[in-house]
């Protein structure tokens, strides 16, 4: 799954702070602004950036006096909040991420793989990890059985029967091989009479062989839970409110560190900071610098208020 481009969303408040948006006074309508926000929040790929306004509007905004820019910043930031927090915008975004990323909010708390690994130093963490592994393995067996061609599954079943027969004939053989042979005999005719049931039985058979879940109810129940977990993790990553919160948190955190008196020079046709350390600053930090202290401060005030509602 492609990673959702937070940079595109970062560009929304960053774009506002860098004077990449405006309203009617500079030829930009609420509808036009909403269209740009929709494009920005639905991009895919890494590191994409989207300019919120066309060049003419940007030039017009830069030509305003600082007091007018401050007022415009408040208007723009408020417009962004109104647009992106509207039920219609939120609902459309939910539909988008459900289709693109299979992201669905089931209202459950799910640990990422990294969080699960980090918790292995406790018994509860180990138990959670083992449960996740069972669910993930169940999902793997089910997916394999559901996606393979019936002819291929039948061939693999025949090969398995040969191996299990040989294993069952050995002295002190593991009893599971007789169980596998009995299950195989029961599902083999279904490859023709009931392919769907054959697939489900084959998934259980392979899970049993690996000492995993050995009943259809347990296996497919775990697979369903695994699917929900994956959908929830995707939603936690891609939902709009969460992404906006991460961006605004960064805006508020970095605002006090901006050096509005920093010197710049022209180098190879580009404007760069005299202090090379500033070149490593984030997109948001540089956007606030370009906006200037007054306008940037006005935008941060809206960001703080917005955060309280998220």
- In whole angstroms, what is the distance from residue 174 CA to residue 191 CA? 27
> Do 141 and 206 fall within a single domain?
yes
Residue 141 lies in a domain: yes
Lowest mean pLDDT among 51-65, 148-162, 226-240: 51-65
pLDDT (average), residues 241-269: 94
User: For residue 21, which of 9, 32, 5, 8 has the smallest C-alpha distance?
Assistant: 32
CB 40 within 8 A of CB 14: no
> Do 128 and 195 fall within a single domain?
yes
Name, in order, each residue with C-beta under 8 angstroms of 181's C-beta and a sequence gap of 6 or more: 161, 164, 165, 168
> Do 140 and 214 fall within a single domain?
yes
Residue 292 phi, psi dihedral angles, 5° rounding: 100, 155
Q: Which of 204, 232, 260 is where one domain is finished?
A: 232
pTM of the model: 0.74
Backbone CA torsion sign across 235, 238, 240, 243? positive
For the segment 78-99, what is each residue's pLDDT rounded down to a tens digit? 888 999 999 999 999 999 999 9
Residue 82 lies in a domain: yes
Q: What is the pLDDT of residue 44?
A: 62
Q: What is the pLDDT of residue 118?
A: 81
Lowest mean pLDDT among 3-7, 112-116, 180-184, 302-306: 3-7
Higher pLDDT, 120 or 48: 120
Q: Does the pLDDT of residue 145 top 90, yes or no?
A: yes
Task: Give whole-number Cα distances, 160 to 44, 153, 171, 231, in Å.
Answer: 43, 10, 19, 34
Total H helices, total E strands in the chain: 15, 2
Residue 46: pLDDT band (50, 70, 90) is very low
Q: What is the pLDDT of residue 121?
A: 84
CB 13 within 8 A of CB 247: yes
Q: What is the pLDDT of residue 5?
A: 35
* Three-class DSSP category at 262: coil
> Do 99 and 244 fall within a single domain?
yes
CA atoms within 13 A on the CB side of 132: 20
Q: What is the pLDDT of residue 52?
A: 60
Residue 295 lies in a domain: yes
Residue 228 lies in a domain: yes
User: For residue 91, which of 36, 16, 38 has the smallest C-alpha distance?
Assistant: 38
Q: What is the pLDDT of residue 142?
A: 96
Q: What's the mean per-residue pLDDT of the chain? A: 86
Q: Which of 198, 232, 266 is where one domain is finished?
A: 232
Q: Does the pLDDT of residue 225 top 70, yes or no?
A: yes
Q: What is the pLDDT of residue 126?
A: 86
Q: Does the pLDDT of residue 102 top 90, yes or no?
A: yes
Residue 130: pLDDT band (50, 70, 90) is confident
Residue 108 lies in a domain: no
- Tally of domains within the chain: 2
Q: Does the pLDDT of residue 261 top 70, yes or no?
A: yes
Residue 1 lies in a domain: no
Name, in order, each residue with C-beta under 8 angstroms of 279's C-beta and a sequence gap of 6 or more: 272, 273
For the segment 9-23, what is each residue's pLDDT rounded down to a tens digit? 444 444 444 444 447
Residue with tokens 């036009």: 32
Q: What is the pLDDT of residue 53?
A: 59
For the segment 49-86, what is each residue's pLDDT rounded down to a tens digit? 444 656 787 788 888 888 888 888 888 888 889 999 99
> Do 119 and 66 fall within a single domain?
no
Residue 279, domain extent: 6-103+239-307
Q: What is the pLDDT of residue 23?
A: 73
> Do 46 and 75 fall within a single domain?
yes
Cβ atoms within 10 Å, residue 168: 16
Q: Does the pLDDT of residue 47 top 50, yes or no?
A: no
- In whole angstroms, what is the distance from residue 200 CA to residue 213 CA? 13
Q: What is the pLDDT of residue 258?
A: 97
Higher pLDDT, 175 or 73: 175
Q: What is the pLDDT of residue 20?
A: 41
Residue 167 lies in a domain: yes
């Amino acid at each position: 799954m492609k990673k959702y481009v937070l940079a595109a969303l970062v560009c929304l408040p960053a774009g506002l702070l860098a004077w990449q948006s405006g309203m009617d006074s500079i030829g930009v309508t609420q509808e036009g602004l909403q269209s740009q926000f929709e494009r920005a929040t639905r991009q895919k790929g890494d590191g994409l950036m989207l300019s919120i306004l066309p060049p003419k509007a940007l030039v017009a905004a830069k030509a305003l006096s600082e007091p007018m820019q401050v007022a415009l910043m408040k208007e723009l930031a408020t417009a962004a909040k109104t647009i992106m927090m509207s039920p219609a915008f939120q609902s459309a975004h939910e539909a988008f991420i459900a289709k693109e990323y299979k992201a669905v909010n089931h209202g459950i708390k799910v640990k990422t793989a990294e969080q699960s690994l980090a918790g292995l130093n406790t018994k509860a963490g180990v138990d959670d990890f083992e449960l996740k592994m069972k669910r993930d393995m169940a999902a793997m067996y089910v997916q394999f059985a559901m996606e393979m061609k019936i002819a291929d599954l039948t061939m693999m079943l025949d090969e398995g029967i040969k191996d299990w027969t040989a294993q069952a004939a050995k002295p002190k053989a593991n009893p599971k091989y007789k169980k596998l042979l009995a299950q195989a005999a029961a599902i083999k005719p279904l490859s023709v009479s009931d392919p769907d049931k054959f697939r489900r039985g084959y998934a259980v058979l392979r899970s049993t062989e690996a000492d995993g879940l050995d009943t259809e109810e347990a296996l497919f129940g775990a697979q369903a839970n695994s699917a929900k977990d994956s959908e929830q993790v995707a939603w936690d990553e891609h939902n709009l409110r969460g992404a906006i919160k991460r961006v605004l948190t960064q805006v508020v955190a970095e605002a006090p560190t901006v050096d509005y008196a920093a010197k710049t020079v022209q180098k190879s046709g580009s404007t760069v900071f005299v202090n090379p350390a500033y070149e490593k600053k984030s997109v948001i930090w540089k956007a606030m610098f370009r906006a200037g202290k007054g306008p940037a401060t006005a935008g941060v005030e809206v960001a703080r208020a917005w955060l309280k509602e998220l």
